[in-house]
Structure 1
């Protein structure tokens, strides 16, 4: 075990940039768990008389409704980030297999990296989560949604146990997710032969597996059932309809991730023609790259769809609820509900933005050797950047379309529950801002990483002299 930890720390020191996305994702996950765990602990440790000082829902109920989707999205981001961290190490792990490393040793190394990264970020994540919990509790108290006498667990012995339990639960949950994700991610390279592992590090399978497509169909059906549940909630249970619709949108995004290569290839083929017409050279190469590497395109598209799908669902649901409330929207209850949705939207956008930037940087950075080969056959840096621009635009459009489809289905279900019509109230300006935000993350992220990836001597990069 000591050797595994030593190797894991060596990889972290040698390639800190490769683990930066995973570290940030784990930081956010532990901070979110700590935030909502401390709110739960505050409610549990508060005297009964103090809790009765407010007539609204209990702090535990607010924390649960506010945090359940945020925590699930945080774990989705962790799984995605860990997968890309492993993908960046695919060549090194394949080389380890060729020099007699066993599949078990490979899996232990990957799990060791996940554990070490989680432990390194746990302390600052706890601190950030505690600070966020204090700020959120103060804001809830200011708005009359939490009793003034409720306090977060501190140093006194009676509340030390729930405080320690909240922090330990956050770390344990993050470790469990990190270990499970790293095991799944390392499964493919550890099961094949060493020679095949080395070959797989530089190739991509063209087809989406039948099991993966079946899983996508099953998850899609589950998402549809959740949206049906949301649509059939009575009008007085708007909050439950909103939570079911938001959870359904997350499940649909998981289905998009599973069926991503197929969906991305179809959409790229449909959108490729106008790109080739507008940019005959760079557009043709970008279209060929995207369709030929559907898994890579899917990896870049899914976080964009996550960003657009979740933020679009929250924005449209909030607008629909405000429109349905009409003049009653000026009441204290409606105002606080809108504030809670806006705060949840900000948190979800933060997680989705981290996933988007991390994924796009990882996907583009791993193409250094590909860019070097193109330069050796005559492509200039400016031509490569034009190609990357076309790819970035296509990636953004595909991601926005998939995310918009999810947001449209979820908000239609919520609108049916609220006002009996599947046509929601659409905030056009807000939707344009979401699309613009997705483009602002995607295009500069790809081009900025591409600028760095095309630097250096091409022959040296092709030969593996630089990483």
Structure 2
């Protein structure tokens, strides 16, 4: 089994590159915040009380709960695509008498080896980030100069254990479908897409939606002097709502694609028609590409509008901070910007990895279109139209999540559900998402439409 796992990793290094980067970031994030927790625990109580601000452990918890959840979201997404790209190989193994248990063992082995390969670099990155973050807090008087990150390996070991646990759980979910169906059907399933979303997935999506709404109510009901709690609840609500979007994504993506596809057909009659038909016919694939874009736009928009709203509220109140934990001071705005930068880093990895994987996975489809007369320029124009529509759907979903979260936060801070919007910042967020999506699809598409068409359709090359 070990040789088979290593063979798969050597044969498809690009497929596991995104998973490796996501796991690396997850290990680094857990190591970072675990080291801050350890530093706070190792510091005498008198030293901890001497510093201003909410405290090192509170800051680490506030950052960590969101950053770690986003990191694991990215890991699950990346792992799903790594397995999707080797779906055909797993199906072939099932047809030559590999048992479901052996298939799951193979997938678990791939996750285990990939995690171990990135563990040491992840530890190093997390340790360096912990010292940098602590030094930045000390410069802003939010941590005592006497606090030091201890040399204990416990945070690193905890990071490895947690990331392994999540990776193995994600592999079990991702390998469930291919390991449960009949061997003869496995090979056919590797090239088809089910139109219906499973009842369990829809129920989970409904549960996440209800949870997000409850968190929004919690955020909106916070008193004005508990801005931090309202902000954390709103940010967590946006993440839970994005999970709901991921679970019910095929349905939502199909509806939005149908609405936006009409204008696209008019503006680009040839490529637009084909792009619209592709996206609506493969709603699950569209959802896979759209969700990371929604993650990037939703989290970035939520953080930016929340910070802007808090600043406006402070200015209206005379510019005084309400408490040591308020988000209205310059140091707390820096904290929010740092958290935003970290979340954007995770979301960017998810966007790039997903778009490259989705586009590269369509080589046989492009080869078949070439065999029936489509030229490479026509396929690239079709991909351009798909990229525009994918960006639009992702931005709309992300904006809807950000709008709901910031409306609840604004109700708590200003008493109005209509938050002030930093138009320029939101414009840059949309421009950044577009700059990631269009080149990611087109550069990968330029490679994917190449190669001998007949050989690719026959499965001779990937």
What TM-score, normalized by structure 1, do the two folds share? 0.96
In structure 2, the residue matched to 1:383 is: 378
1:14 paired to 2:6: no
Deviations 1:36-73 (A, max 9, x none): 00011111111233223213222111111122101100
Deviations 1:202-226 (A, max 9, x none): 0001122233222211210110000
1:343 paired to 2:338: yes
8 Å Cα contact 1:329-1:335 kept in structure 2: no
1:263 paired to 2:252: yes
1:271 deviates by 0.6
Deviations 1:105-125 (A, max 9, x none): 000000110011000000000
1:337 deviates by 0.9
In structure 2, the residue matched to 1:442 is: 437
In structure 2, the residue matched to 1:159 is: none
In structure 1, the residue matched to 2:388 is: 393
1: distance between equivalents of 2:448 and 2:41?
52
1:259 deviates by 0.6
1: distance between equivalents of 2:441 and 2:425?
24
2: distance between equivalents of 1:244 and 1:115?
34
1:5 deviates by 2.3
* Among candidates 60, 71, 75, match of residue 74 of structure 1: 71
SS of equivalent residue, structure 1 residue 236: coil
Deviations 1:115-149 (A, max 9, x none): 11000000000000000111100000000000000
In structure 1, the residue matched to 2:289 is: 300
1:116 paired to 2:95: no
2: distance between equivalents of 1:264 and 1:210?
18
Query: What is the 5 A alignment of 1:17-416?
Result: 17-154=14-151, 163-326=152-315, 328-329=318-319, 334-416=329-411
SS of equivalent residue, structure 1 residue 203: coil
1:399 deviates by 0.2
1: distance between equivalents of 2:424 and 2:436?
18
User: After TM superposition, which residue ranges in structure 1, 4 or more long, deviate above 4 angstroms?
Assistant: 327-333
1:329 deviates by 4.2
Query: What is the 5 A alignment of 1:409-428?
Result: 409-428=404-423
2: distance between equivalents of 1:294 and 1:313?
26
1:341 deviates by 0.3
Q: CA 1:191/1:323 → structure 2, altered by over 3 Å: closer, same or farther?
A: same
Q: CA 1:330/1:14 → structure 2, altered by over 3 Å: closer, same or farther?
A: farther
2: distance between equivalents of 1:71 and 1:400?
23
Unaligned segments of structure 1, at least 5 residues: 155-162
1: distance between equivalents of 2:46 and 2:255?
60
The two structures, once aligned, show a CA RMSD in angstroms of 1.1
1: distance between equivalents of 2:49 and 2:418?
40
2: distance between equivalents of 1:265 and 1:450?
22
1:14 deviates by 1.3
1: distance between equivalents of 2:207 and 2:21?
31
1:330 deviates by 7.2
2: distance between equivalents of 1:465 and 1:369?
10
Unaligned segments of structure 2, at least 5 residues: none
2: distance between equivalents of 1:49 and 1:346?
32
What TM-score, normalized by structure 2, do the two folds share? 0.97
